[in-house]
Structure 1
Amino acid sequence: MSDADFIQVDPRQAALGHQLFYDPILSGNRNITCAHCHHPDFGTSDGLSLGIGEGGVGLGTERLAGTGDSRIKKRIPRNAPGLWNLGARDLHTFFHDGRLSKSDQFGNGFDSPAEEWLPQGLNSLLAAQALFPLVAQFEMAGNPAENEIIGAVHDRIDAAWPILAKRVRTDPKYQRAFMTAFDHIDMPDQVSIVEIGNALGAFMAVELQSIDSPFDTYLRGDKAALTTSQKRGMELFYGKAGCAACHSGSLLSDQKFHALGVPPFGPGRTRRFDPYARDVGRMGESDRLEDAYRFRTPMLRNVALTGPYGHNGAYPTLEGIIRHHLNPAQALSRWSPEMAQLPEAEWLATGDFVIWQDRREMQRQRAARDIESVALGDSEIADLVAFMHALTGQGVSKTPFGVPSDFAP
């Protein structure tokens, strides 16, 4: 990959997005930021299997589920993905279930949960994606009766965005910044959620571009960039192990959906009115039975930094998730709840693994698999792990903006 493979953004807007990304002003109760679930110290994820969103305290693996009335009401249903290279031009589908994609279906450039109510003017998938955590109850918006944001969301998804935009544009530290970053903004009262989304998207596109891994250097002609073990792992990845069947192309993802039989737990994301504590994957978006339990293929650059792994973070290590891909049935039989990185929340504990008590649901999930077993030895698996580490960018700790000195998790 090269710089030409990424969307071009205005550096002034990226600088503004940097401020917003680390500012709790965008959350309903002003107590959580984008960075709480996507922090550089955890590879732009959070180090947890299922995140602790609104109401939690702390950062990453030290984050707690809160206490009293402000404690979390639900775990975030899916693992927080890393944000690397989401500014790539070829990306057309976002989220584990693909519920955001480029499309002309609703006249605004996107097929999204907001349908025709997503505002016009968002200039990238990244900009559109940035708006949805802001209005998600358990991520950033908060719970009913706690603030005006969540109240508006329950009227209609787009009702909260103007309220958030007013918060931002009436904050003195942002007024001049928006007029500087956007040529069409002459007065603060012109700032809408569109400019906020575009700024956040610009920041993520610039800050989290990573194309300087040893693997990228190798592809540019430096055959000494990979170790002997990493080269063997690369050969397995593109050969015997079959990884490249899905992790293909420059993105290392086919952007399609596959059922892997990953061990289930947590509240899951279901279709509307689905009573199960389960995750139906792509079917929750498409409502097609053939899409049940299928999830989008993740990109792999910097994957060694973004554990736990799987759509719900079921495996704490790269070796674990690789072994699952190689033999899903065996890996599922050996998996234990202790492998899940779930901060203690005793009031949620009874539901964390309740799905395992539903024999029929577990049978359905075991039957839904799109991958065949591949026999590899321990040394070959170690080589695959080594190759995954070869996908880590050399500049991940020296991004253009970094974490603000006044960020207080």
Structure 2
Amino acid sequence: MTQEDFIVFDRKQAALGQLLFYDKILSGNRNIACATCHHPQMGTGDNLSLGIGEGGEGLGTKRMAGTGDDRIRKRIPRNAPGLWNLGAKELHTLFHDGRLSIADTYENGFNSPAEEWLPSGFNSLLAAQAVFPLVAQFEMSGNLKENEIAGAIHDRIDAAWPILAKRVRVIPEYGRMFVEAFDHIDAPDQVTIVEIANALAAFQAVEWQSLDSPFDQYLEGNASALDDSQKRGLDLFYGKAGCASCHSGKLLSDQQFHAIGLPPFGPGRTRRFDPMVRDVGRMGESDRLEDAYRFRTPMLRNIELTGPYGHNGAYPTLEGIVRHHLDPDGMLATWAPEIAALPDAPWLAPIDFVVWNDKREMARHARFRDIAPLALTDGEIADLVAFLKSLTGTTSVSAPPFGVPDTVPSGLPVDR
């Protein structure tokens, strides 16, 4: 990848977005920020299989599920993805099930959960994505009757965004920064959720742009950028192992949906009004049976930093997820619940693995496979893993443009 492959974002807007990304003012109960589940210390994820959202305490693997009335009511159904290279021009679909994409379905530029109620004016797909965690009950908004944000969402999804925008713009420092960063904003009271989302997108795109990995250096002509094991892994990736059939192009993703039979667990996400504890993947968005249990192909740069792996974080290591791709049914048969990184929440334990007791659901799950078993030696697997590690950025990872701020304008604590 080169700089030409990325959308150009305004640096003043990115600086404003940095503060917003780490500021808990954007959550219903002012107790969680975007950075809580997408922190640079954890490779822009949270190192958990299924995250602990609103109501939790702590960061990363030390995050706890809360206590008393404030404890979480549900695990986040899917793994928190890394945020690398989300400002790429080629990117057209986001979320594990692809429920947000560039399209004119609702005549506002996007096919999204907000349908026709999504505002216009977003600077990118990434900006449109930024508004949805803010109004997700278990991620950032909180539970009904806890705050005005959650209450507004109960009326209609777009009812909460003006409330959040006012929360931000009445803080003097934020008001001043918006006026300075956006040419069309002359006064703080003009700031809407669109400007907030555009700033968040600008920050994420600038902060986590990674195109300086050993693999990228190798593509630029530096033959010594990869060691012998990584070169063998590269040959396997694009050859015998068939990885590039899905992890293709500059993004190392076809942005399509595939069923690979990952071990199911957690509350899952399914079709609207479906009461079953399961995750049907793309079918939850498309409502088409042929999309059942299929999930979006993840991009792979900095994959070494963003475990656990899979749409539900089923495998803690690269070797584990590689071996699953090579033998999905065999790995499913030997997978054990203790492999999952799930913070202790005894009141949720009864449903964490309840799907395994549903023989019919497990049989349906087993019918959908888009990958066939492939035999590789342990040495070849090690070479593949070595190649995947060559996708880790160098300076882009160790010295990002902005970093974690010491404080934010709201005065709320910053997760560090």
Q: Give the shorter-chain TM-score range.
A: over 0.9
Partner residue, 1:403: 404
Partner residue, 1:242: 242
**Contact 2:6–2:89 under 8 Å retained in 1:** yes
Distance in 2 between residues matched to 1:356 and 1:268, nearest whole Å: 13
Partner residue, 1:147: 147
Alignment size in residue pairs: 409
For 1:397, give the aligned amino acid. Answer: S
Deviations 1:306-333 (A, max 9, x none): 0000000000100000000000010001
Partner residue, 2:258: 258
* Residues 13-32 of structure 1: pairs in structure 2 closer than 5 A: 13-32=13-32
Distance in 2 between residues matched to 1:297 and 1:155, nearest whole Å: 34
Distance in 1 between residues matched to 2:363 and 2:300, nearest whole Å: 30
Q: 1:132 aligns to what SS in structure 2?
A: helix
Q: 2:338 aligns to what SS in structure 1?
A: helix
Deviations 1:265-293 (A, max 9, x none): 00000111111111000000000000000
User: Does residue 112 of the first structure (1) align with residue 112 of the second (2)?
Assistant: yes
User: Does residue 93 of the first structure (1) align with residue 112 of the second (2)?
Assistant: no
Distance in 2 between residues matched to 1:389 and 1:89, nearest whole Å: 24
For 1:245, give the aligned amino acid. Answer: S
Q: 2:101 aligns to what SS in structure 1?
A: strand
For 1:265, give the aligned amino acid. Answer: F
User: Does residue 122 of the first structure (1) align with residue 122 of the second (2)?
Assistant: yes
Deviations 1:52-110 (A, max 9, x none): 00000000011000000000000000000000000000000000000000011211111
Distance in 2 between residues matched to 1:366 and 1:45, nearest whole Å: 29
Displacement of 1:408: 3.0
Displacement of 1:405: 2.2
For 2:26, give the aligned amino acid. Answer: L
User: Does residue 378 of the first structure (1) align with residue 384 of the second (2)?
Assistant: no
For 1:176, give the aligned amino acid. Answer: R
Q: 2:365 aligns to what SS in structure 1?
A: helix
- Identity value in percent: 73
* Residues 148-297 of structure 1: pairs in structure 2 closer than 5 A: 148-297=148-297
Gaps of 5+ in 2: 408-412
Distance in 2 between residues matched to 1:126 and 1:333, nearest whole Å: 37
Partner residue, 2:391: 391
Distance in 2 between residues matched to 1:363 and 1:397, nearest whole Å: 45
Distance in 2 between residues matched to 1:286 and 1:171, nearest whole Å: 41
Using the TM superposition, name which of 269-278 and 339-348 deviates more.
269-278
For 1:399, give the aligned amino acid. Answer: P
Q: 2:224 aligns to what SS in structure 1?
A: coil
**Contact 2:23–2:414 under 8 Å retained in 1:** no
Deviations 1:352-393 (A, max 9, x none): 000000001001111110001110010100000100100000
For 1:211, give the aligned amino acid. Answer: L
User: Does residue 45 of the first structure (1) align with residue 51 of the second (2)?
Assistant: no
Following TM superposition, the consecutive aligned residue runs of length 4 or more in structure 1 with deviations greater than 3 angstroms are: none
Q: 1:101 aligns to what SS in structure 2?
A: strand
For 1:85, give the aligned amino acid. Answer: N
Q: 1:48 aligns to what SS in structure 2?
A: coil
Distance in 2 between residues matched to 1:261 and 1:403, nearest whole Å: 37
Partner residue, 1:73: 73
After TM superposition, the score normalised by the length of structure 1 is 0.99
Distance in 2 between residues matched to 1:114 and 1:397, nearest whole Å: 37
Gaps of 5+ in 1: none
For 1:400, give the aligned amino acid. Answer: P
Distance in 2 between residues matched to 1:254 and 1:354, nearest whole Å: 32
Q: 1:229 aligns to what SS in structure 2?
A: helix
* Residues 355-366 of structure 1: pairs in structure 2 closer than 5 A: 355-366=355-366
